[in-house]
Amino acid sequence: MGSPTLKGSTMFYQHHPYSPEWGPMHWGHVKSKNLVQWEHLPIALAPSEDYDRDCCFSGSAIEKDGKLYLMYTGNVWTGKIMIPI
C-alpha cells in the first residue's frame, strides 16, 4: 500500500487479469478515501518490454515532485527450474 494522503490511499497488487490461474503478473491498482471502500483503476503495469515480458513482480512506488515513479522486478522465463540444495 502506498501514498496515504488527505485525499486517500493508493494500493498496487500482483494480479493476473486473464484468469484465476497463475500467469504473467501485472500490477493491479485501487484507491480509497476511507480504506473500506476501494475503487478499481486501470492496470498500472503490464509485461510489455524484453526485460519483463513474462511478469511484473513486486516493487515500490514513490512520489517525487508531483510525479509517481514505479520500480519493480521484471522477469523473463528461461524454462530452467532452480532446485535448492
User: Is the CB of residue 42 less than 8 Å from the CB of residue 11?
Assistant: no
Q: Which residues pair with 14 in a beta bridge?
A: 27
Q: CB–CB of 75/52 below 8 Å? A: yes
69 Cβ contact list (under 8 Å, min separation 6): 61, 62, 63
Residue 66: what pLDDT? 86
Q: What is the pTM of this model?
A: 0.73
- Digit-by-digit pLDDT tens for the chain (85 residues) are 555 555 788 899 999 999 988 888 999 999 999 999 999 999 999 999 998 888 998 888 888 898 888 899 888 888 776 555 4
Instruction: Tell me which residue has cell 522465463.
Output: 77
Domain boundaries along the sequence of the chain:
2-75
